[in-house]
Amino acid sequence: MGELLNINDTHYSKHNRIVIVTNSRISYLCPSMSNNQYKEIKRITTHVLQEMKQRGEKISMLTAYDYTFATILDAALIDVILVGDSASNVMAGNTTTLPITLEQMIYHTASVTRAVDRALVVADIPFGSYQGNSKEALSSSIRLMKEAAAHAVKMEGGLEIIDSVKRVLSAGVPVMGHLGLTPQSIYKFGTFEVRAKDEVEANKLLEDALLLQDAGCFAIVLEKIPATLGERVAKELKIPVIGIGAGSGVDGQVLVLHDLLGLTKEFNPRFLRRYMNLFDDVKTNIEHYIEDVKLVDFPSKKEQY
């Protein structure tokens, strides 16, 4: 965790964080529980996430599926990297997350973990690799931990998968839950609409969240639910609650990196904020490259041996 440092006459950023550069590496010093002391976080763990919730610091989480983007995310000091089964969509072009296999998730997760020094890396267990079979759930989790060096796994569902959750936790594998809109169950829902808008489903979601917490999950993702419900769950639970379309009252936020960067164009939910428009930027520069090649402007004399 690093040494406690005394900070005096400090200029606070809008995020209430202090940034220190040591040997060309940036570190955030996040508020600790003492009056004027800060603790440098050198490695994010499940314990660190719990401390962040306790002191009210929001958790940042993004997806990554390859070494290059994972390197950038870790350098930017993202707290959690999710190797999501959304790779099925953004990397493989499938319309749902269902087709991606455990072997493919191991490949993507290993690519990410090789790049990471600081962030916590959570890997999705893909559809069909844990539902209804706790032994298979354990086997899948162990493969992701041993072969891909994942730090934790994520599983979708509540009561219906609790036996698998408990079996995986019994082996010492940290588990992150996922409730609300669970993409692996899209054919059950039949729609990508907001979940838990009625009282019955909202109460079921809260019950499942408490069940996952009691089983030993270290955090829960809530996807596409009313903001008031997201805040309610975050207040009821002692473990971190990370939202994607669950409002600002939860303990952290997660987005798909390709959506945030504007590499995808057809996906435009209300909860998505695009920070760049890389699709058009990359397309424009590739067009410039093609033109330069056609006109023999590239390579120039300076770009030749």
Active site residues: 223
What's the CA gap between 36 and 59, in Å, rounded?
22
CB 175 within 8 A of CB 130: no
The runs of H, that is alpha helices, within 171-226 are 186-189, 199-215
Residues with Cβ within 8 Å of residue 287, at least 6 apart in sequence: none
Residue with tokens 């473990």: 239
Angstrom distances, CA of residue 94 to CA of 8, 38, 159, 193, 236: 53, 45, 28, 19, 36
φ/ψ of residue 73, rounded to 5: -60, -40
